[in-house]
Amino acid sequence: MSIPRLPRKKLKNLCTILLCSSSLVLMMTEVLAHPVLQPGKLISYTRNPNGVAIKTEHAQVELTVFSPGVIRVRMDKKNLGSDFSYAVTGQASKTDFQLTELDDKLILQTSALQLLIQKQTFSLRFETPDGVLINQDEPGLSNSWIGDEVSSYKTLQDGERFIGLGEKTGNLDRRGSAYTNWNTDAFRYTGETDPLYASIPFYIGIHHGMNYGIFFDNSYQTDFNFGASNRRFSSFSAQGGELNYYFIFQPRVADILRAYTDLTGRMPLPPLWSLGYQQNRWSYYPESEVMRIAQTLREKKIPADGITLDIHYMDGYRVFSWDKQAFPDPKAMTARLAKLGFKTTVIVDPGIKIDAGYATYTRGLQQDAFLRYADGTHYAGEVWPGWVVFPDFTRAATRSWWQAEVASYAKQGVAGIWNDMNEISTWGQKMPNNILFDYDGQLTTHKQGRNVYALEMARSSHEGMKQASGERPFILSRSGYAGLQRYAAIWTGDNTADEEHMLLGVRLLNSLGLSGMPFTGMDIGGFTGTPTAGLYARWMQIGAFTPYFRNHAASDSRSSEPWTYGEDVLNISRNYINLRYRLMPYLYSSFHQAASSGLPVMRSLAIDYTHDAQVYSRHYQNQYMFGDAFLIAPFTSNKEFGRLYLPEGEWYDLYSDKREPGKQAKTLELRLDRLPVYVKAGSIIPMQSQVQSTAEQPEDSLFIHVYNGTQSNSASYYEDDGHSYAYQNGDFYQRQMRFVPERREIQFEASQGKHASKFRKLEILLHGFNDVRSIAFNGKTIDLETLRLGFFGQEDRELNVSKFTIPNSAGKITLNY
């Protein structure tokens, strides 16, 4: 068969067509086969009441204006799925914005920021309203997918710092480091261990006098890179799900925390007793040992409010059970402890022993409460009771079942629930990914369900105790996800009795505070290993200035109560626990502030002194504020000298009242019996008389310590019954107090709320007012006394504190110089 010959011109045209077609096929094949998929060009967009929906070549995008300073970014290479989050409870507010189209970009603008949306190669650039760059997708990389992994790449700014990200080891400034969020049982972790127990994918970027926050709400394993192994970008990625993040721009870090907790919720006011000292061990048992510990605390005049029971209180480690030989009558025991001023907290793990005679297991089977494999069989893992099944807390019916089980503890007089092992932890620490989670009707696997497991367990425990008791519950969790603050406090897991580990714990708590978690603590003294007497003493001092103050030790270490390290350590520990209880009005007011604003109780200096480079120095990064007034400088116990940095302002040595200028570094001679503590000039600190527990009524005078300064300052004093929800209906007592140096006045506003204060009188103590000749309260002259006793009762001739008493009422104190 012969092939017809074509004229040369037609042959040339055919070749051109074939060549072009081949090139097109090659181009399409290259796009489809490229291992990194980017959104591509903007194809179309639609404005809606809260933002704009965008279609690109390879992605669906939704930009939502939540408020003038908060814009949400959702993106997927498929259609966007249902809008569901365990972390976010806040709703978008009606916010005015403008959407302008130019040839090469869209501009979405609010009163606080503008977002430039590039058309040709889709990317985002966040600017101030006057065009100053805040944050942008890295040109050429922007956002992309590698298989199911989704990533966002952000340009590294000159001098940019990164803080937060929750429970992460390392330095305060995370520049140059990378981290993974995958809730992990990290027994005896070190200063380099990552990941740890909890995942909070929220961080704050700082550069050129500006601050922004990014909350990446994705519960798959997430990874954050702040310029590690590269000098071009920071990035965040997830192993599945959407690119779903909230961009927050506010003038101060404190405002970013407020905006973040507007999204994820704030801590409800905890019960007052949970702020007191808690004594714990793995384990106090039998009942006679529990009572011995409680009675010894009282005999030795060591204030305390809580005894915590670890796993040995249970019958064969079965949760919701008691060892009847060791604890024959739990309700009677908790009642005896309550008479001594102690509340009881018990550990509750998620694993339910597979035992046909175990009522909790049987009821769980009836409610179809447990996690299953894809073939429908129950997943079983091995922990303390042996082989166990695990409740699926992402299922509403399971949460209801758990709430009913938890109620049994409330009926036995238990006041606190300690959720442990909830990462989920199993022997072998390798939970299979083919386990199914209900995810509230959106069936998924362990890959998406793991990081929110502890959050939903804490939610279930909180609701169960609240419904059963009608009181504010105390829930403590080892693991969690963003939003955990709505239900629980968190502690930093199984730490070690080591000097540097103590300071690591301080940084972990500061970082959690930067991530929306105000109620935090660490095992004082170290969980594993045995501390030296000096280390124990220093740790107890620091513990007195942490939100959750719990002493805890493992079963294979020595007893670690304050009296077990000798008389000197006992006195040091008692002094600082005493101080914490005298500061309880200040501490409770600080917790109320946290519940109202999202500002943590324990605050990295980066919150108030964000753009002072010294606070990020490795010499000073462990320092923190405790509430508004106190600067805490933690040092290891084995050093004779330490470097301290005092930020801007003026500062008073807590013990000597010596006044120091700010913006200076100094060398301190360290003493084991004194933790370096400074008070910010202008501070107003409410205190009370000494008590042995929060159940004990203090004397009827509220002590108000005022520290002289050149700047006006205000403080909010807050009081309620400490245990119920009556405060939500106005049954509280709140008063604003102001120091106005230019007017030489201390002002007490009229109180707010229906609650009557427990204090009838105010004893005012003036620090640094050496030139004051007389005092008038509401125009009437008041007698002055001179007090020369320090905070620990020591007499010092150089101290010169003026003291006077007024009624607990609104009014104005005039200082006459």
User: If DSSP codes are grouped into helix, strand and coil, which group holds residue 428?
Assistant: coil
Q: Domain ends where: 249, 266, 293?
A: 249
β-bridge partners, 212: 205, 249
What is residue 790's predicted lDDT score, i.e. its pLDDT?
72
Check if 783 is active-site: no
User: What is the 8-class DSSP label of residue 759?
Assistant: -
> 772 lies in a domain?
yes
CA 310 to centroid of chain Cα atoms: 24
Strands 352-353 and 386-389: antiparallel
Check if 420 is active-site: yes
Domain residue limits at 215: 42-249
541: nearest Cα among 672, 375, 395, 378: 672
> 217 lies in a domain?
yes
CB count within 10 Å of CB 2 equals 4
> 270 lies in a domain?
no
Q: What is the 3-state secondary structure (H, E, C) of 537-603?
A: HHHHHHHCCCCEEEECCCCCCCCCCHHHHCHHHHHHHHHHHHHHHHCHHHHHHHHHHHHHHCCCCEE
> 644 lies in a domain?
no
Q: Which CATH number covers residue 167? A: 2.60.40.1760
What helix, strand, coil percent values describe the chain, rounded to 5? 25, 30, 45
Query: How high is the mean pLDDT of the chain?
Result: 94
- Tell me the pLDDT tens digit for each residue of 546-599: 999 999 999 888 889 999 999 999 999 999 999 999 999 999 999 999 999 999
Host H or E run for residue 297: helix 287-299
Given the residues 242, 305, 423, 463, select the one marked as catalytic.
423
Cα–Cα distances in Å, from 632 out to 490, 526, 570, 637, 677?
Answer: 21, 20, 21, 15, 5
Whether the per-residue pLDDT at 27 is higher than 60: the answer is: no
User: Percent of the chain, pLDDT > 70?
Assistant: 95
pLDDT band at 173 (very low <50, low <70, confident <90, very high): very high
User: What is the 8-class DSSP label of residue 464?
Assistant: H
Residues contacting residue 20 through CB under 8 Å, at least 6 positions apart: none
For the residues 224-237, what does the mean pLDDT come to? Answer: 97
Given the residues 405, 494, 499, 719, select the one marked as catalytic.
494
Compute the C-alpha angle 734/719/475, nearest 5°.
130
Total domains in the chain come to 2
Strands 650-653 and 659-661: antiparallel
Q: Domain ends where: 249, 265, 294?
A: 249
User: Percent of the chain, pLDDT > 90?
Assistant: 92
For the residues 661-690, what does the mean pLDDT come to? Answer: 98
Check if 194 is active-site: no
pLDDT band at 6 (very low <50, low <70, confident <90, very high): very low
* C-alpha to C-alpha distance for 462 and 783, rounded to whole angstroms: 50
Residue 760, token pair as written in the block: 């009838």
* C-alpha to C-alpha distance for 518 and 624, rounded to whole angstroms: 13
Given the residues 185, 420, 657, 719, select the one marked as catalytic.
420
Q: Is the peptide bond before 647 cis (omega within 30 degrees of 0)?
A: no
Whether the per-residue pLDDT at 155 is higher than 60: the answer is: yes
What is residue 798's predicted lDDT score, i.e. its pLDDT?
72
For the residues 696-704, what does the mean pLDDT come to? Answer: 97
> 773 lies in a domain?
yes
> 67 lies in a domain?
yes
Compute the residue count for the chain. 817
Host H or E run for residue 811: strand 811-816
Cα–Cα distances in Å, from 723 out to 268, 300, 341, 662?
Answer: 12, 27, 14, 40
Whether the per-residue pLDDT at 78 is higher than 90: the answer is: no
For the residues 384-405, what does the mean pLDDT come to? Answer: 98
> 171 lies in a domain?
yes
pLDDT band at 793 (very low <50, low <70, confident <90, very high): low
What is residue 797's predicted lDDT score, i.e. its pLDDT?
66
Instruction: Lowest mean pLDDT of 170-179, 502-511, 774-783, name the range.
Output: 774-783
Query: Which backbone phi and psi does 390 adopt, to 5 degrees?
Result: -125, 130
For the residues 784-810, what does the mean pLDDT come to? Answer: 82
Residue 254, token pair as written in the block: 């404190």
What is residue 700's predicted lDDT score, i.e. its pLDDT?
96
Compute the C-alpha angle 176/178/181, nearest 5°.
155
> 692 lies in a domain?
yes
Q: Which CATH number covers residue 752? A: 2.60.40.1180
Residue 459, token pair as written in the block: 């939610």
For the residues 393-414, what does the mean pLDDT come to? Answer: 97
Q: Domain ends where: 196, 218, 249?
A: 249
Give the DSSP letter string of 156-195: PPTT-EEEE-SS--S-SS-TT-EEEE-----TT--TT--S
Whether the per-residue pLDDT at 749 is higher than 90: the answer is: yes
* C-alpha to C-alpha distance for 571 and 284, rounded to whole angstroms: 24
